[in-house]
Amino acid sequence: MTTSTFSERGAAAVGSAAAAAVGDGARHLIEKRAAAVDAYPAMDAMRDRVREIRLHTLAHLDAYLADFADSVEAAGGHVFFAADADEANAYILGVAGEAGAELVVKSKSMVTEEIELNGALEAGGLTIVETDLGEFIVQLSGDRPSHIVAPVLHWTKEQVGHLFADQLGVPYADEPTELNQIARTHLRRIFLRADMGISGVNFAAASTGTIAIVTNEGNGRLTTTAPRVHVAVMGMERVVPTVEDLGVMLEVLGRSATGQSLTTYTNLITGPRRPDDDDGPDEFHVVIVDNGRTAVLGDEVSEVLACIRCGACLNICPVYRTVGGHAYGDVYPGPVGSVLSPILFGFEGREELPYACTLCGACLEVCPARIDLPSLLVNLRERVAQEGTAFSWLDRPLDAYEFAATHPTMWTASIDGASLAGRANRGGWFKRLPWRGKTWTSVRNLPAPAVTSFRRWWKKHHGA
């Protein structure tokens, strides 16, 4: 979290090449999602099951975590329960120390970013290499990821070419094929001699202790196969009851995230290499991280823990598409981040996040777990308003909300983005947003708004 505010970061980002690239990338992903959903008639039924399984598990989370830990241990793995980031990082450092590890490979994981694991391990003298191509670029450059599933949406191929030439000592190239080849060769050497691999966990099955790690590149498999020690770090809410339930999550994850019916590699791991196995890690550790999640569980917005981190709500969000990921200031951007971050990390400095939203309802429309993000954001707005936090730019806290509610036709008329921008200025709606209306005039291509879903949502909540 930086010391600037969302509106300052957002205003700076609007119209920037980086934010425009994120917007384009997000639009592309959401189009692919729509095509995948159209091609899969069971999507709605599966989303119902996903929601049911996620909420059921959360309601009995302590019991399922206990089951999961027992199952991992029965399969020969170790489990550590980490109350916070420090405990998690200290444990992983300890594992590395005992294993005599020096070189650590990582596959992309949000929770390890959240607990700032890399910094902790580097302070402990270890070398950490991010292996997802996007994260590798982010790490080499000292930049930050702009998107949950596509961290370098904001980079051009020329920028990557210069980075590789500078940092890896290879000749400059700017063809993606060559850049990929450079990364493959460089990272393959590192994989094959790394001592320890650290991964995240997309889902964990309590009854068997199986964890699922999905990647398209295969770095998730190499990270969990080549080094002799594998440490998997998971937010404690990742668990579901059984492998079959885990399968249901997979039915919607890839389709929602990137429009793939399945991500290329769905890696299901149950314990370390078995006695007669040919390969795989000799040691397997799972670190279950709370780090504020219990507070979320006890909060009115606890439903957000049902999130499966697909990124669809980011891709569809008109605010995210306009300001990009960095404006949100935390690991988790977009609508889901605006709900999660204030509770996970504290309201201070994040009071604006619940307002970084036009309440268009599009995120609810796409969320595979049917999380009612608009209602959760309204809940947080009310609390921010009650706290009396100073928002000089807000005459009345719910103006944008009320305006949207009473002007649903604005969306209907807004398919043409340019005309929307003009109307928004006249209507004053977007003036209620933190960075004021004027910057929105540069928005050329707002998404087709989810008019029906918004109306449905409004009806449900206000009986109008």
Partner 1 sequence: MERDAFLTRVRSGISGATLPPAPELDPGPLTPELADVDLVERFGTVLATLDGTLHTGDPRAAIEEIIAHHGPGPLLAWDDEHLPLPDAVHRFLQSGCARTDGVVPHSAEKRLTHQGGYFDVLYGLTGAEAGFAETGSIVVRSGPGRPRMASLVPLVHIALLPSDRIFRSPMHWLTEHGADVAAVANTVYITGPSRTADIEQRLELGVHGPREVHVVVIE
Q: Which does 358 bind (CB under 5 to 8 A by kind): ligand SF4, partner 1, none?
A: none
DSSP letter, residue 87:
H
Which does residue 329 touch among ligand SF4, partner 1, none (CB within 5 to 8 A, set by kind)? none
Q: How far apart are CA 75 and CA 199, in angstroms?
A: 18
Based on C-alpha coordinates, what's the Rg of the chain? 22
Q: Which of 200, 318, 342, 368 binds ligand SF4 (CB under 6 A)?
A: 368
Q: Where are the alpha helices (DSSP H) in 60-132?
A: 61-74, 85-99, 110-114, 117-123
- 304: which 2 tokens? 């957000």
Residue 406 phi/psi, 5° resolution? -95, -10
152 binds ligand SF4 (CB under 6 A): no
Q: What angle do CA 200, 211, 365 make, to 5 degrees?
A: 75
Q: Which of 149, 234, 307, 359 binds ligand SF4 (CB under 6 A)?
A: 307
**Within 10 A of 379 (CB to CB), how many other CB atoms are there?**
16
Beta bridge partners of 288: 81, 234
Rounded (5°) CA angle 362-363-366? 90
User: Shortest Cβ distance from residue 158 to partner 1 (Å)?
Assistant: 10
Instruction: Decide whether 240 or 424 has the Cβ nearer to partner 1.
Output: 240
Figure out which of the listed residues 69, 250, 353, 367 binds ligand SF4, where binding follows CB under 6 A.
367
CB atoms within 10 A of CB 413: 12
- Closest approach of Cβ 66 to partner 1, in Å? 6
Report the alpha-carbon distance of residue 102 to residue 196 in Å, rounded.
8
User: Which residue shows structure tokens 């980086």?
Assistant: 18
Between 334 and 434, CB nearer to partner 1: 334
Query: Is 279 in contact with 227 (CB distance < 8 Å)?
Result: no
Q: Could you tell me the smallest distance in angstroms from the CB atom of residue 40 to partner 1?
A: 8
Asked if 217 and 270 touch (Cβ cutoff 8 Å), the reply is: no
Half-sphere exposure of 167 (CA within 13 A, CB side): 17
Q: Which does 81 bind (CB under 5 to 8 A by kind): ligand SF4, partner 1, none?
A: partner 1
Nearer to ligand SF4 by Cβ, of 413 and 448: the residue is 448
Alpha-carbon span 185 to 69, nearest angstrom: 37
Q: Are 351 and 405 contacting, i.e. CB atoms less than 8 angstroms apart? A: no
How many residues touch ligand SF4 under the rule CB under 6 A: the total is: 14
Query: Residue from 95, 310, 331, 410 that binds ligand SF4 (CB under 6 A)?
Result: 310
Question: Nearer to partner 1 by C-beta: 160 or 327?
Answer: 160
| Closest CB 237 distance from partner 1, rounded Å | 10
Q: Which of positions 347-366 make contact with ligand SF4 (CB under 6 A)?
A: 366
Task: Looking at residues 316 to 345 of the shown chain, list those that interact with ligand SF4 (rule: CB under 6 A).
Answer: 336
292 and 347 in contact (C-beta within 8 Å)? no
Q: How many residues are listed for the chain in this entry? A: 464
CB of 308 to ligand SF4, least distance (A): 4
CA distance 121 to 139: 14
Output DSSP code: residue 237.
Answer: G
Query: What six digits make up the tokens of 221?
Result: 């498999």
**Which tokens in the block code for residue 417?**
């983005």
182-221 binders of ligand SF4 (CB under 6 A): none
Q: Binds 92, which of partner 1, ligand SF4, none (CB < 5 to 8 A, cut-off by type)?
A: none
CA distance 451 to 456: 9
**Least distance from C-beta 149 to ligand SF4, angstroms?**
9
CB 208 within 8 A of CB 91: no
State which residue, 40 or 347, has the beta carbon closest to partner 1: 40
d(CA 13, CA 323): 5
313 touching ligand SF4, by CB under 6 A: yes
276 interacts with, out of ligand SF4, partner 1, none, CB within 5 to 8 A per kind: partner 1
The interface partner of residue 336, options being partner 1, ligand SF4, none and the CB cut-off 5 to 8 Å by kind, is: ligand SF4
Closest separation between CB of residue 258 and partner 1, Å?
A: 8
308 is a contact residue toward ligand SF4 (CB under 6 A): yes
Residue 14 interacting entry, from partner 1, ligand SF4, none, C-beta within 5 to 8 Å by type = none
Interacting span for ligand SF4 (CB under 6 A) from 272-280, 307-315, 344-352, 395-403: 307-315
Q: Please say which residue, 221 or 381, places its beta carbon nearer to partner 1.
A: 221
Q: What is the pattern of x (binds ligand SF4, CB under 6 A) and - over residues 253-272?
A: ---x----------------
> Judged by CB under 6 A, which stretch of 64-72, 176-184, 212-220, 367-375 contacts ligand SF4?
367-375
| Residue 312 or 394 with smaller CB distance to ligand SF4 | 312
- The nearer residue to ligand SF4, 110 or 268, going by C-beta atoms, is 110
Positions touching ligand SF4 (CB under 6 A) are 256, 307-313, 336, 366-369, 371
